[in-house]
Amino acid sequence: MTERPLVYDLTLEDWERWVETQGEPRYRALQIWEGLYRHLWSHPEQFSHLPKALRRRLDEAFVFSHLTPVKVRHSRDGETEKTLFHLPDGSAVETVRMRYVRRRTLCISTQAGCAMGCVFCATGKLGLLRNLSPGEIVEQVLYYARRLRETGDRVTNIVLMGMGEPLHNYEATMQALGILNHPQGFRLGARRITLSTVGLVPRIRQLAREGKQYNLAVSLHAADDDLRTALIPVARRYPLRELFAACQEYFQRTKRRITFEWTMIRDVNDGLEQAEKLVRWIKEFGLLAHVNLIPLNPVPGYAGQPSPRTRLEAFAAYLEEHGIPCTVRVRRGIDIQAGCGQLAGERLQEGGRPLVGTG
């Protein structure tokens, strides 16, 4: 692995310190930052507004990319594209681009693999390989921002629902989101950024105190501790009562509506008794909430099946009747295995052979 830092790993303050060590005025830092995040430049030669010597130093001291696209999949309708990237140390992460009316949403990864071990998740089966650096999180966005720009388009939303548990890589995730949200950085509004978590209670409380307007999505999947723990091993440490209390703090401090994600698994967590319990929790804690029902994307190594339409609709209807808005997420991109961790998981099943080229 290269010793030189990745350019996207530096905050604006880091750049200010660096230009100073180069004997350059402070405003050069902002110029570099603008080159990276406004102009989306990816090579030191493009920084034509910098003195030649500084440009050369940039080239010598940093690398401009850690992500090598090795595999691309398109959904049949062309609305979803997924890329598997290799990192310099050989680990892999994936990023998904979804197109929906005017939205261009990127689903990005925060870790290679994941330590949380949810039984139905392909990423969970990999275990945690490593945390991504802030720059490696940011570069996934820049990769697609550059691609979209070629057709006059841009990234409108980001969801942290790719591989990994963002709150288990807290510092790097916060730094990456800081760059993406920065008014002089990538300039994507906090309300257009959604962080999805399996429910790490202390970190949700910490996030609530960051003073940011990020959307919070909590992967719930069950409304009683026994069932939840069976699906999400880490839930043993965070009983639902504590989780809902943390969500309440998030809601009270940010005034942002919370999304609860619910992967619908046939005859496991799709019964009305679960819907009833969920309504009770949401009411008890006075949350403004929205529920996202997602039919399970079948994964090798887990026998569960997606809920049939009738059960999905009955569950959704119950929530709606009790005043809780809910969406049944269309299974977009399912034909390209756009489910969490599935492309990288596939690589393991192929015996770890390197995958080159696209499709």
Residue 299 near ligand SAH by CB under 6 A: yes
Distance CA 58, CA 46 (A): 11
Dmax (CA) of the chain: 68
Residue 94 near ligand SAH by CB under 6 A: no
Give the residues lining the site for ligand SF4 (CB under 6 A). 114, 116-118, 121, 123-124, 164-165, 198, 219, 340
69 strand-pairing partners: 85
Q: Which is nearer to ligand SF4, 185 or 333 (CB)?
A: 333
**Active site includes 94?**
yes
83 strand-pairing partners: 72, 95
Residue 293 near ligand SAH by CB under 6 A: no
Q: Which of 296, 312, 316, 336 binds ligand SAH (CB under 6 A)?
A: 296
Place of tokens 């009738």: 310
Phi, psi of 104 (to 5 degrees): -125, 95
Q: How many Å is the Cα radius of gyration of the chain?
A: 21
- Tokens of residue 156, six digits: 């409108």
Residue 121 near ligand SAH by CB under 6 A: yes
Question: What DSSP string runs through 212-226?
Answer: ---EEEEE---SSHH
Question: What DSSP string runs through 89-108?
Answer: TS-EEEEEEEEETTEEEEE-
Number of residues engaging ligand SAH in binding (CB under 6 A)? 17
Task: State the CB neighbour count (10 A cutoff) for residue 331.
Answer: 14
| Mask for 41-70, x = binds ligand SAH (CB under 6 A) | ------------------------------
Q: Distance between alpha carbon 312 and the CA centroid of its chain, in Å? A: 25
Q: Which of 54, 165, 234, 290 binds ligand SAH (CB under 6 A)?
A: 165
Residue 198 near ligand SAH by CB under 6 A: yes
Q: Which is nearer to ligand SAH, 212 or 329 (CB)?
A: 329
Closest separation between CB of residue 61 and ligand SAH, Å? 34
Residue 261 near ligand SAH by CB under 6 A: yes
Q: Find the helix or strand (DSSP H, E) in which 80 lies.
A: strand 80-86
Contacts with ligand SAH, residue ranges (CB under 6 A): 118, 120-121, 161, 165, 196-198, 219, 261, 263, 294, 296-297, 299, 339-340
Active site residues: 94, 340
